[in-house]
Amino acid sequence: MKFLITAGPTREPIDPVRYLTNRSSGRMGYALAGAARHDGHEVLLISGPTTLDVPPGVDFIPVETAQQMYDAVRDMLRGVDVAILCAAVADYRPVACAEQKIKKHTDKLVLELERTPDILGSMRSVFGFSGKLIGFAAETQNVVEYGRDKLVRKQCDMVVANDVSQPGIGFDSRENAVVLIYPDREEYLEKDSKERIAMQIIEHATILPS
Ligand code: CTP
């Protein structure tokens, strides 16, 4: 099978030396790419900036902004069987990027932000993607309810949801505990290394019903 996986944060420039970003190490997405490759699949990883090494045998497109990630995903969908959108995409970006470094002339500074394109939300409706679609949901409350809402709104086959308010899992840590949300049920994967959680997610992804 051919997998497309997004990972890491995006960076939205404010001026030549500053940017807005999300907390994300990229570990979950890179672990998914490594697990899928290990299982013999063809894997394309599209990632924002991280400090991680690309797993051996995985095709790689580095991006910085949400717009670049959107463009790369749209352009690379041909032949993809399973898309797993794991990236922590910035939801807003500065309306304009200052050409020169912003100097601290004033006590307060207001940044005007606009929405970035919703990659997951565009997969079916804009890109016409008809393969298996897996989204991620990082929530701080009502994890299953919000995750299920995302599954329906973005026409996913599965949403991997985690409670990022729990210490020691998710964002910057090496471990995760997630719930797989299907249209008709949920399945809990207990706290484990991101590598072992990734192997389980890939197994579930390959047997999604058509
Ligand atoms: N995502 C994306 N493009 C964006 C923002 C998010 O592809 N511009 C993807 C992430 O990779 C992840 C999922 O969408 O798979 C996270 O969804 P999120 O944006 O949190 O969902 P919403 O329900 O739209 O947002 P909110 O949590 O604010 O309700």
Consecutive sets of 10 residues in the chain, 210 residues long: mean pLDDT of each? 98 97 94 98 98 98 98 98 98 95 92 98 98 95 96 98 83 87 96 95 93
The pLDDT assigned to 41 comes to 98
The pLDDT assigned to 174 comes to 86
The pLDDT assigned to 63 comes to 98
Q: Which residues line ligand 1 (CB under 6 A)?
A: 6, 66, 85-87, 89, 91, 116, 118-120, 135-137, 150
The pLDDT assigned to 209 comes to 85
d(CA 142, CA 4): 28
Nearest-CA residue for atom 8 of ligand 1? 118
Closest CA to 18 of 105, 102, 120: 102
The pLDDT assigned to 169 comes to 76
Chain centroid, CA 26 distance in Å: 9
The pLDDT assigned to 171 comes to 72
Residue positions counted in the chain: 210
d(CA 139, CA 178): 11
d(CA 12, CA 90): 7
The pLDDT assigned to 133 comes to 98
For residue 137, the CA-to-ligand 1 centroid distance in Å is 7
Nearest-CA residue for atom 18 of ligand 1? 137
Pocket test for ligand 1, best of 28, 73, 119 (most atoms within 8 A of CB): 119
The pLDDT assigned to 210 comes to 75
For residue 104, the CA-to-ligand 1 centroid distance in Å is 33
22 annotated active-site: yes
The pLDDT assigned to 83 comes to 98
Which ligand 1 atom lies nearest to the CA of residue 138? Answer: 20
The pLDDT assigned to 1 comes to 97
Residue 170 burial (C-beta neighbours within 10 Å; 0-12, 13-18, 19+): buried
- What's 9's DSSP letter? B
